[in-house]
Amino acid sequence: MTEGPDAGSGAVLVMGEALIDLVPSPDGPETLRAQPGGAPANVAAGLARLSTPSWFAGALGGDGFARMIEQRLASAGTRLGLCARSELPTTLAVADPGPDGTGYHFHLADTATFQLPDHSAEVAGFAAVYVGGLAAVVEPSAGAVAATARAGAERSLLVVDPNVREDRTLDPEPSVRRLRELCSLAHVVKASDEDLGRLWPDTDPDETCRRLAGEGRLVVLTRGARGSTAYSGSAEPVSVPAVPVTVVNTIGAGDAFMAGVLHWLTVNGAAGPTGSPGGGATRVLGDGGVSRLPGDKVAAMLGFASEVAASVVAQTGTEPSLPSTPARI
Protein backbone atom coordinates (compact mmCIF):
# COMPACT_ATOMS: atom_id res chain seq x y z
CA MET A 1 0.00 0.00 0.00
CA THR A 2 1.18 3.54 -0.76
CA GLU A 3 2.53 5.22 2.34
CA GLY A 4 1.10 8.43 3.72
CA PRO A 5 2.99 11.50 4.89
CA ASP A 6 5.40 11.70 7.81
CA ALA A 7 3.96 12.55 11.21
CA GLY A 8 4.03 16.27 11.82
CA SER A 9 3.59 17.19 8.14
CA GLY A 10 0.29 18.94 8.83
CA ALA A 11 -1.49 16.67 6.34
CA VAL A 12 -5.15 15.68 6.68
CA LEU A 13 -6.58 12.26 5.82
CA VAL A 14 -10.05 12.72 4.33
CA MET A 15 -12.06 9.49 4.16
CA GLY A 16 -15.38 9.17 2.38
CA GLU A 17 -17.23 9.43 -0.88
CA ALA A 18 -16.48 11.14 -4.17
CA LEU A 19 -19.53 11.11 -6.41
CA ILE A 20 -21.25 13.05 -9.17
CA ASP A 21 -23.91 15.65 -8.38
CA LEU A 22 -26.46 16.11 -11.15
CA VAL A 23 -27.59 19.69 -10.68
CA PRO A 24 -30.10 21.80 -12.65
CA SER A 25 -28.44 23.61 -15.54
CA PRO A 26 -28.91 27.33 -16.21
CA ASP A 27 -30.42 26.20 -19.52
CA GLY A 28 -33.52 24.97 -17.68
CA PRO A 29 -34.74 22.52 -15.01
CA GLU A 30 -35.09 19.73 -17.57
CA THR A 31 -31.30 19.79 -18.17
CA LEU A 32 -28.93 18.42 -15.54
CA ARG A 33 -25.23 19.27 -15.33
CA ALA A 34 -22.71 16.72 -13.98
CA GLN A 35 -20.56 18.20 -11.21
CA PRO A 36 -17.98 16.35 -9.06
CA GLY A 37 -19.15 16.28 -5.45
CA GLY A 38 -19.43 14.32 -2.24
CA ALA A 39 -18.76 16.15 1.02
CA PRO A 40 -15.43 14.40 1.78
CA ALA A 41 -14.14 14.95 -1.77
CA ASN A 42 -15.15 18.62 -1.53
CA VAL A 43 -13.29 18.94 1.77
CA ALA A 44 -10.18 17.22 0.39
CA ALA A 45 -10.09 19.48 -2.67
CA GLY A 46 -10.83 22.54 -0.54
CA LEU A 47 -7.98 21.78 1.84
CA ALA A 48 -5.53 21.40 -1.04
CA ARG A 49 -6.65 24.71 -2.55
CA LEU A 50 -6.08 26.32 0.85
CA SER A 51 -2.53 24.87 0.82
CA THR A 52 -3.11 22.19 3.47
CA PRO A 53 -1.76 18.80 2.32
CA SER A 54 -4.76 16.50 1.92
CA TRP A 55 -4.92 12.78 1.10
CA PHE A 56 -8.25 11.52 -0.22
CA ALA A 57 -9.02 8.00 1.02
CA GLY A 58 -12.04 7.28 -1.13
CA ALA A 59 -12.66 5.00 -4.09
CA LEU A 60 -12.83 5.83 -7.80
CA GLY A 61 -14.66 3.81 -10.41
CA GLY A 62 -13.93 2.85 -13.99
CA ASP A 63 -16.23 5.25 -15.86
CA GLY A 64 -15.99 8.74 -17.32
CA PHE A 65 -17.47 10.25 -14.16
CA ALA A 66 -14.60 8.80 -12.13
CA ARG A 67 -12.09 10.35 -14.52
CA MET A 68 -13.84 13.69 -14.08
CA ILE A 69 -13.59 13.36 -10.28
CA GLU A 70 -9.93 12.33 -10.42
CA GLN A 71 -9.07 15.30 -12.63
CA ARG A 72 -10.84 17.64 -10.22
CA LEU A 73 -9.02 16.29 -7.16
CA ALA A 74 -5.62 16.13 -8.87
CA SER A 75 -5.91 19.67 -10.25
CA ALA A 76 -6.65 20.92 -6.74
CA GLY A 77 -3.48 19.24 -5.47
CA THR A 78 -5.15 16.46 -3.46
CA ARG A 79 -2.99 13.35 -3.02
CA LEU A 80 -4.62 10.15 -4.29
CA GLY A 81 -2.10 7.55 -3.12
CA LEU A 82 -4.60 6.08 -0.60
CA CYS A 83 -7.54 6.10 -3.01
CA ALA A 84 -8.96 2.69 -3.92
CA ARG A 85 -9.82 1.76 -7.52
CA SER A 86 -12.68 -0.29 -8.94
CA GLU A 87 -14.23 -1.02 -12.33
CA LEU A 88 -17.71 -0.36 -10.92
CA PRO A 89 -19.57 2.84 -11.88
CA THR A 90 -19.70 6.05 -9.85
CA THR A 91 -22.50 6.96 -7.43
CA LEU A 92 -24.89 9.65 -8.71
CA ALA A 93 -26.67 12.23 -6.54
CA VAL A 94 -29.53 14.07 -8.22
CA ALA A 95 -29.77 17.50 -6.62
CA ASP A 96 -33.17 18.98 -5.86
CA PRO A 97 -32.69 22.64 -4.85
CA GLY A 98 -35.53 24.24 -2.90
CA PRO A 99 -36.29 27.23 -0.68
CA ASP A 100 -35.09 25.33 2.41
CA GLY A 101 -31.86 24.03 0.87
CA THR A 102 -30.82 21.32 -1.54
CA GLY A 103 -32.15 17.79 -1.24
CA TYR A 104 -30.65 14.76 -2.97
CA HIS A 105 -31.84 11.50 -4.49
CA PHE A 106 -29.08 8.90 -4.63
CA HIS A 107 -28.19 6.07 -7.00
CA LEU A 108 -25.94 4.02 -4.71
CA ALA A 109 -26.28 0.32 -5.55
CA ASP A 110 -23.27 -1.57 -6.94
CA THR A 111 -21.04 1.48 -7.29
CA ALA A 112 -17.30 1.92 -6.76
CA THR A 113 -17.81 4.88 -4.44
CA PHE A 114 -18.23 2.80 -1.29
CA GLN A 115 -15.53 0.16 -1.87
CA LEU A 116 -13.30 1.65 0.82
CA PRO A 117 -10.54 -0.22 2.69
CA ASP A 118 -9.70 0.27 6.37
CA HIS A 119 -7.02 2.97 6.77
CA SER A 120 -6.38 2.49 10.49
CA ALA A 121 -2.72 1.70 9.86
CA GLU A 122 -2.08 5.05 8.18
CA VAL A 123 -3.76 7.52 10.56
CA ALA A 124 -0.77 8.14 12.86
CA GLY A 125 1.04 10.00 10.09
CA PHE A 126 -1.67 12.64 9.77
CA ALA A 127 -2.33 15.81 11.73
CA ALA A 128 -6.08 15.18 11.47
CA VAL A 129 -8.51 12.57 10.18
CA TYR A 130 -11.85 13.66 8.72
CA VAL A 131 -14.83 11.31 8.30
CA GLY A 132 -18.56 11.68 7.75
CA GLY A 133 -21.23 11.70 5.08
CA LEU A 134 -22.64 8.83 3.08
CA ALA A 135 -19.57 6.59 3.34
CA ALA A 136 -20.07 6.50 7.09
CA VAL A 137 -23.52 4.90 6.75
CA VAL A 138 -23.50 2.95 3.46
CA GLU A 139 -22.02 -0.54 3.38
CA PRO A 140 -19.43 -1.80 2.66
CA SER A 141 -17.65 1.47 3.46
CA ALA A 142 -19.36 2.12 6.83
CA GLY A 143 -17.32 -0.52 8.67
CA ALA A 144 -14.03 0.73 7.24
CA VAL A 145 -14.90 4.32 8.14
CA ALA A 146 -15.78 3.34 11.71
CA ALA A 147 -12.54 1.38 12.18
CA THR A 148 -10.43 4.22 10.74
CA ALA A 149 -12.25 6.73 12.93
CA ARG A 150 -11.53 4.71 16.07
CA ALA A 151 -7.83 4.66 15.18
CA GLY A 152 -7.95 8.37 14.36
CA ALA A 153 -9.45 9.14 17.75
CA GLU A 154 -6.50 7.40 19.44
CA ARG A 155 -3.58 8.54 17.26
CA SER A 156 -4.56 11.80 15.60
CA LEU A 157 -7.21 14.52 15.75
CA LEU A 158 -10.56 13.05 14.69
CA VAL A 159 -12.89 15.51 12.98
CA VAL A 160 -16.45 14.43 12.19
CA ASP A 161 -19.01 16.15 9.98
CA PRO A 162 -22.11 13.91 10.06
CA ASN A 163 -23.55 15.62 6.96
CA VAL A 164 -26.80 13.71 7.39
CA ARG A 165 -28.57 12.71 4.19
CA GLU A 166 -32.14 11.40 3.97
CA ASP A 167 -33.21 9.30 1.01
CA ARG A 168 -35.49 6.32 0.30
CA THR A 169 -32.37 4.20 -0.28
CA LEU A 170 -31.00 4.85 3.23
CA ASP A 171 -32.23 3.10 6.37
CA PRO A 172 -32.52 5.95 8.89
CA GLU A 173 -32.14 3.95 12.12
CA PRO A 174 -28.67 2.40 11.52
CA SER A 175 -27.55 5.59 9.76
CA VAL A 176 -28.36 7.72 12.80
CA ARG A 177 -26.72 5.20 15.13
CA ARG A 178 -23.49 5.14 13.14
CA LEU A 179 -23.25 8.92 12.91
CA ARG A 180 -23.94 9.32 16.62
CA GLU A 181 -21.14 6.85 17.35
CA LEU A 182 -18.71 8.83 15.19
CA CYS A 183 -19.65 12.05 16.99
CA SER A 184 -18.98 10.31 20.32
CA LEU A 185 -15.45 9.44 19.15
CA ALA A 186 -14.62 12.85 17.70
CA HIS A 187 -12.36 15.55 19.07
CA VAL A 188 -14.03 18.08 16.74
CA VAL A 189 -17.63 17.93 15.52
CA LYS A 190 -18.86 20.27 12.81
CA ALA A 191 -22.58 20.02 12.10
CA SER A 192 -25.46 22.08 10.79
CA ASP A 193 -28.56 22.70 12.85
CA GLU A 194 -30.41 20.40 10.42
CA ASP A 195 -27.86 17.63 11.05
CA LEU A 196 -28.30 17.80 14.81
CA GLY A 197 -32.08 17.96 14.49
CA ARG A 198 -32.02 14.68 12.57
CA LEU A 199 -29.54 12.95 14.88
CA TRP A 200 -31.12 14.11 18.18
CA PRO A 201 -34.65 15.16 17.18
CA ASP A 202 -35.91 15.54 20.76
CA THR A 203 -33.17 17.96 21.78
CA ASP A 204 -32.54 21.58 20.81
CA PRO A 205 -29.35 21.83 18.68
CA ASP A 206 -27.83 24.30 21.14
CA GLU A 207 -28.35 21.86 24.00
CA THR A 208 -26.84 19.03 21.94
CA CYS A 209 -23.77 21.17 21.20
CA ARG A 210 -23.31 22.06 24.86
CA ARG A 211 -23.50 18.39 25.83
CA LEU A 212 -20.98 17.29 23.20
CA ALA A 213 -18.63 20.14 24.11
CA GLY A 214 -18.98 19.41 27.81
CA GLU A 215 -17.58 15.94 27.14
CA GLY A 216 -14.31 17.45 25.91
CA ARG A 217 -14.95 18.36 22.27
CA LEU A 218 -14.78 21.43 20.10
CA VAL A 219 -18.23 21.65 18.47
CA VAL A 220 -18.97 23.96 15.56
CA LEU A 221 -22.60 24.59 14.64
CA THR A 222 -23.41 26.15 11.26
CA ARG A 223 -26.70 27.88 10.49
CA GLY A 224 -26.23 28.96 6.88
CA ALA A 225 -26.92 32.67 6.41
CA ARG A 226 -27.30 33.05 10.20
CA GLY A 227 -23.61 32.36 10.76
CA SER A 228 -21.85 29.87 13.01
CA THR A 229 -21.31 29.16 16.71
CA ALA A 230 -18.52 27.23 18.41
CA TYR A 231 -18.80 25.46 21.76
CA SER A 232 -15.53 24.78 23.52
CA GLY A 233 -15.61 22.83 26.77
CA SER A 234 -17.61 24.64 29.43
CA ALA A 235 -16.85 28.13 28.06
CA GLU A 236 -19.58 30.37 26.72
CA PRO A 237 -20.33 29.76 23.03
CA VAL A 238 -18.74 32.09 20.49
CA SER A 239 -20.80 33.19 17.48
CA VAL A 240 -19.69 34.82 14.23
CA PRO A 241 -22.05 36.14 11.54
CA ALA A 242 -21.93 34.85 7.97
CA VAL A 243 -19.92 36.96 5.55
CA PRO A 244 -22.35 39.11 3.52
CA VAL A 245 -22.30 37.99 -0.09
CA THR A 246 -24.59 37.80 -3.10
CA VAL A 247 -25.69 34.16 -3.16
CA VAL A 248 -25.04 32.39 -6.45
CA ASN A 249 -24.75 28.81 -5.20
CA THR A 250 -25.12 27.02 -1.85
CA ILE A 251 -23.91 23.53 -2.87
CA GLY A 252 -20.58 22.83 -1.17
CA ALA A 253 -20.67 25.87 1.14
CA GLY A 254 -20.70 23.74 4.29
CA ASP A 255 -17.82 21.63 2.98
CA ALA A 256 -15.82 24.78 2.23
CA PHE A 257 -16.48 25.97 5.78
CA MET A 258 -15.23 22.59 7.08
CA ALA A 259 -12.08 22.89 4.96
CA GLY A 260 -11.55 26.35 6.44
CA VAL A 261 -11.83 25.02 10.00
CA LEU A 262 -9.42 22.16 9.30
CA HIS A 263 -6.93 24.46 7.57
CA TRP A 264 -7.03 26.90 10.50
CA LEU A 265 -6.52 24.13 13.05
CA THR A 266 -3.56 22.59 11.23
CA VAL A 267 -1.88 25.92 10.45
CA ASN A 268 -2.12 26.95 14.10
CA GLY A 269 -0.86 23.66 15.53
CA ALA A 270 -4.16 22.62 17.08
CA ALA A 271 -4.02 19.23 15.36
CA GLY A 272 -1.52 16.44 15.25
CA PRO A 273 -0.58 13.00 16.50
CA THR A 274 0.33 12.85 20.16
CA GLY A 275 2.10 9.49 20.12
CA SER A 276 -0.09 8.53 23.06
CA PRO A 277 -2.88 6.20 21.91
CA GLY A 278 -6.03 6.74 23.93
CA GLY A 279 -4.72 9.98 25.37
CA GLY A 280 -6.94 12.30 23.35
CA ALA A 281 -5.06 13.77 20.41
CA THR A 282 -5.22 17.51 21.02
CA ARG A 283 -1.84 19.06 20.28
CA VAL A 284 -1.63 22.30 22.23
CA LEU A 285 -2.36 25.76 20.88
CA GLY A 286 -0.98 28.11 23.48
CA ASP A 287 -1.89 26.70 26.88
CA GLY A 288 -4.89 24.59 25.85
CA GLY A 289 -5.96 21.79 23.56
CA VAL A 290 -8.44 21.99 20.73
CA SER A 291 -11.36 21.60 23.13
CA ARG A 292 -10.11 24.51 25.23
CA LEU A 293 -9.41 27.18 22.64
CA PRO A 294 -9.76 30.73 24.04
CA GLY A 295 -12.70 32.73 22.76
CA ASP A 296 -10.65 35.09 20.61
CA LYS A 297 -9.01 32.19 18.80
CA VAL A 298 -12.35 30.45 18.32
CA ALA A 299 -13.73 33.66 16.78
CA ALA A 300 -10.71 33.89 14.47
CA MET A 301 -11.25 30.29 13.34
CA LEU A 302 -14.96 30.84 12.64
CA GLY A 303 -14.29 34.10 10.83
CA PHE A 304 -11.70 32.49 8.58
CA ALA A 305 -13.96 29.52 7.80
CA SER A 306 -16.86 31.87 7.05
CA GLU A 307 -14.74 33.71 4.49
CA VAL A 308 -13.81 30.42 2.83
CA ALA A 309 -17.50 29.43 2.65
CA ALA A 310 -18.42 32.83 1.22
CA SER A 311 -15.94 32.33 -1.62
CA VAL A 312 -18.02 29.30 -2.72
CA VAL A 313 -21.44 30.86 -2.18
CA ALA A 314 -20.51 33.82 -4.41
CA GLN A 315 -19.75 31.67 -7.47
CA THR A 316 -20.86 28.61 -9.39
CA GLY A 317 -19.03 25.41 -8.47
CA THR A 318 -17.60 24.22 -5.16
CA GLU A 319 -13.94 25.31 -5.28
CA PRO A 320 -13.04 27.70 -2.42
CA SER A 321 -10.33 30.33 -2.50
CA LEU A 322 -7.93 31.45 0.22
CA PRO A 323 -9.23 34.55 2.05
CA SER A 324 -7.13 37.71 2.25
CA THR A 325 -7.24 37.35 6.06
CA PRO A 326 -4.39 35.03 7.06
CA ALA A 327 -5.25 31.88 9.01
CA ARG A 328 -2.10 31.85 11.14
CA ILE A 329 -2.38 33.69 14.46
Question: Within its chain, how far is the Cα of 22 from the centroid?
Answer: 20
Instruction: Give me the CATH number covering residue 257.
Output: 3.40.1190.20
Could you give the number of structural domains in the chain? 1
Residue 293 covered by a domain: yes
Among 4-13, 141-150, 266-275, 279-288, the range scoring the smallest mean pLDDT is 279-288
pLDDT digits (tens, 9 = 90+) for 6-55: 655 799 999 999 999 998 887 776 789 999 999 999 999 999 999 999 99
Report the DSSP pairing between strands 218-222 and 228-232. Answer: antiparallel
Three-state DSSP class for 219? strand
266 located within any domain: yes
Does residue 136 surpass a pLDDT of 90? yes
pLDDT tens for 215-269 read: 999 999 999 889 999 999 889 999 999 999 887 877 889 999 999 999 999 999 8
Residue range 102-111, pLDDT digits in tens = 778 899 999 9
Q: What domain range includes position 276?
A: 40-56+120-313
Lowest pLDDT segment from 4-13, 48-57, 141-150, 156-165: 4-13
Q: 305: number of CA atoms within 13 Å, CB side?
A: 34
- Answer whether residue 85 shows pLDDT above 80: yes
Q: Tell me the pLDDT of the chain averaged across its residues.
A: 89
Question: Among positive and negative, which fits the CA dihedral 208, 210, 214, 216?
Answer: positive
In a domain, 175, yes or no: yes
Look at residue 149 and tell me if it is in a domain.
yes
Q: What is the pLDDT of residues 193-212, one digit of tens each?
A: 999 999 999 999 999 999 99
pTM listed for this prediction: 0.91
Residue 81 belongs to some domain of the structure: no
Q: CA 168, CA 89: separation in Å to the nearest integer?
A: 20
Q: Please indicate, yes or no, if residue 109 is contained in any of the structural domains.
A: no
* Residue 16 is assigned to a structural domain of this protein: no
Distances (CA, A) of 96 to 25, 139, 275, 308: 12, 24, 45, 24
Phi-psi group of 226: left, alpha or beta (phi > 0 → left; psi -120 to 50 → alpha; rest → beta): alpha
